[in-house]
Structure 1
């Protein structure tokens, strides 16, 4: 074959149109139309203020944009092949109304910087919604931890009863992790708050644009500095979804404990009737099915975050479709399932109760306070911890074999003490009883971070201060975004002469 290739086919290929272009058009139409409007308005205001467009041209384009907005039913639009997406649809409408002047709006910008600004605006609004649910859960944990400060539970390690603590102490451990997760989400929100507009395709532009003005009108804290990075560095995507994933991974562990605790064999967590579904065939079964749904939603959300982050693996450091419409739409599912889980978990935690009878029974069956007996021997009998540990172990073996609670084992303790030391203990039966009670075990653990009431009260005050600070930072961002919307509306109205 000689000579140049002759290709009489026209874009787009029908299959490409069906499998890609039509889907992308729907995505832009569904998620970005409102943000596209804001970007068009902010860019037009800046072009007019800097004199790149004249005082006559700016209002003419503003009038046309306003007419397009009022005349177009975005939801009714469908992909015809005439316009690649909603951006090109608006530009075609502008040129239809204004002729060549309609093409002036695209001066000093590119689809590249517009797209990443759209993505950030869309993510910003979704993050604001999810933030409220994370904050709501944190507040629910604080409230429940205060309420359950003195409620004794059995803590488990390796799936086995370990030591007594309180439900409030346990919830505070989960709360600490959630607050650290919220700090990571806060950092991701700050990184999301830098505007790519003005980067154009890669290298900015020779026109005297005002990047700070566009950034401010769109509610960003400031422009993202490096223009290449504006369109190539998608760490605002990977950073955000990584922070989101950790929330769902960590809360999934808490949810798994709730499932374990509510099992018939453990039973220390009572699930209220409003969260129980009865078996269709076994009327005696109380199935805490919402716990399973929370675990499922947490896993789905974490997996969806992984999908987005992993899509960026081994992609080039440049503008690319891998980080754009298709993956952005997919990522929104993580927000949707995550918010459902967060709201359900906040309500569940606020409603569930600890069954004190089952706690006592499990504690007695497993000698969970025996560590404090060993500690007491070190303090009061001047023994090494290893000696004390051997005596405590022998005591627990004896009472368990006899089917006794540890509190009934003073005689067994005396025998174990004499065998280890060759003498009788100075600790009386009353002192022994105090050492092995659940309440005594907890009350003496008053060091920072412990479950004793005074330690937990101090910790809860710290958690409240940390959460308030994080909420204030998000509130400041949100107020800036809202104020920018009002400023943009007023400035565009000034162009329209209204």
Structure 2
């Protein structure tokens, strides 16, 4: 029987144009070599087990194909190289490699394609593993944030709104806030994982198949939690990719904002955070420089991840609900880029958070001098003087104006200046003494007294940290369960393939 080099070009008389081959098809082939070689082997094994169990493929033929798949696995992606434009598709490169290794060639291997077409759950299989890796990094980063938040629960610093001193907070309270955003991002990533974890195999080209295949058996062997049931949906849907890209963009938007804060806090003008020498870079010209370039690299990866989300959506926005290369391939290229950006940025930021050094005394001084505690002074006036908060606000605002005009910082607000402000706004002096004013303006007192749910008091921060530790334990257990299901499926697939081969 004549052995055909490719099933793809029987419809065409002319060969693939060399420009099309070199600029489009070969890069796609290499993309598949990097990402889809091993998933395709497992998809073949699962499908072949099912075909043999359903008596659609003779056992000796299945055994021969299993042996050839094992040979390919030992060799790796090079078993399919070099790219051959006459074969074109990656799927058919592997089919050709199997034909060359299986006695009987195409007459045997050709039945591996029964009821199938090229849209496979390969990218879903890759995406599951990559999302689990990202989730590992997210949980490690959350652990570091929790530990640093606990350690810095009493590290007083200015809190900012509009990049101006607002109210005193602590570094621990700030890091706990970053953690909580990342805790919600964990749920977004898990939701993307669940949407991805649906098996499309067995959908045919779009309408299923008339053969007595068992889609549930294939799903089990590949470790998917559920089927993507509708066969047209199986070849057309891309929401799992968009959802994953959106979750990754949310993670990186947070990480980019954190990087920008640390970039500012570590500048000479702020000087509150030292990224340490281990995360600093020199200048080739200026001897004095200690640059926090790491934060610039992270910010750039944030932008690139957001760009990848935009690309995923843009690729699909005008594509019909059908199988196209936009759906099969092009949608995943920016998504896999986004995964790489997160893989690079998140562990880097986790390690930086772990070692960064705050200048605690400078942070306290900045909080004390920068008028961020004057809200407490207004509240004290409201309570002691029996006036409305708005009236007290007017008095304190005028006191700040007078202090600034006289080149004083917040520590220069004394009873005389406050009474001057009161006379200008209320027409009378206040009864507050210097001790009450100093206590109201002390940022450490401010932090301690703000002890409501979620507030800055060290005791409250540590309560939140303790609860987050419990959530982190549960999230780790959930991640371990998902990973265990994939590992169990891999073992079950190997066992089922061996059983078919030996029966």
Contact 1:154 1:163 in 2 (8 A): yes
Equivalent residue, structure 2, for 1:430: 435
The structural deviation recorded for 1:225 is: 1.3
Contact 1:241 1:309 in 2 (8 A): no
Equivalent residue, structure 2, for 1:442: 447
Contact 2:199 2:226 in 1 (8 A): yes
Equivalent residue, structure 2, for 1:3: none
Give runs of aligned pairs for residues 58-457 of structure 1, distance below 5 A.
58-70=62-74, 74=78, 77-96=81-100, 97-99=103-105, 100-112=107-119, 114=120, 117-408=121-412, 409-457=414-462
Q: Distance in 2 between matches of 1:284 and 1:134?
A: 35
Q: Distance in 2 between matches of 1:85 and 1:78?
A: 12
Q: Distance in 2 between matches of 1:382 and 1:63?
A: 88
Q: Distance in 1 between matches of 2:475 and 2:208?
A: 35
Q: Distance in 1 between matches of 2:75 and 2:434?
A: 88
The structural deviation recorded for 1:167 is: 0.5
Contact 1:271 1:352 in 2 (8 A): yes
Deviation string 1:292-334 (CA, Å, 9 cap, x unpaired) is 1121222222222322232111111110101223442443222
Moved over 6 A (4+): none
Equivalent residue, structure 2, for 1:484: 489
**Secondary structure of the equivalent of 2:104?**
helix
Equivalent residue, structure 1, for 2:469: 464
The structural deviation recorded for 1:123 is: 1.3
**Secondary structure of the equivalent of 1:314?**
coil
The structural deviation recorded for 1:241 is: 0.7
Q: Distance in 1 between matches of 2:12 and 2:499?
A: 49
Structure 1 residues 233 and 273: CA distance shift in structure 2, 3 A: same
The structural deviation recorded for 1:469 is: 2.8
The structural deviation recorded for 1:152 is: 0.8
Structure 1 residues 61 and 405: CA distance shift in structure 2, 3 A: closer
Give the TM-score taking structure 1 as reference length.
Answer: 0.92
The structural deviation recorded for 1:148 is: 0.7
Deviation string 1:423-451 (CA, Å, 9 cap, x unpaired) is 54333322221111011111111111110
The structural deviation recorded for 1:67 is: 4.5
Q: Distance in 2 between matches of 1:447 and 1:172?
A: 15
User: What value does the CA root-mean-square deviation take over the aligned residues?
Assistant: 2.2
The structural deviation recorded for 1:490 is: 1.1
The structural deviation recorded for 1:336 is: 1.5
Contact 1:278 1:285 in 2 (8 A): yes
Higher alpha-carbon deviation: 263-272 or 169-178: 263-272
Indicate which of 37, 41, 44 corresponds to 1:40: 44
The structural deviation recorded for 1:101 is: 2.5
The structural deviation recorded for 1:142 is: 1.0
| Residue 35 of structure 2 is aligned to residue 28 of structure 1 | no
Give runs of aligned pairs for residues 5-16 of structure 1, distance below 5 A.
10-16=14-20
Deviation string 1:55-78 (CA, Å, 9 cap, x unpaired) is 444334333433454567626711
The structural deviation recorded for 1:395 is: 2.0
Contact 1:62 1:495 in 2 (8 A): no
Which segments of 5 or more consecutive residues in structure 2 lack a partner in the other structure? 1-10
Structure 1 residues 70 and 445: CA distance shift in structure 2, 3 A: closer
Q: Distance in 2 between matches of 1:288 and 1:65?
A: 49
The structural deviation recorded for 1:461 is: 2.6
- How many residues of Structure 1 are paired with residues of Structure 2 in the alignment? 489
Contact 1:29 1:75 in 2 (8 A): no
Q: Distance in 1 between matches of 2:281 and 2:223?
A: 46
Q: Distance in 1 between matches of 2:444 and 2:183?
A: 29
Indicate which of 31, 52, 57 corresponds to 2:56: 52
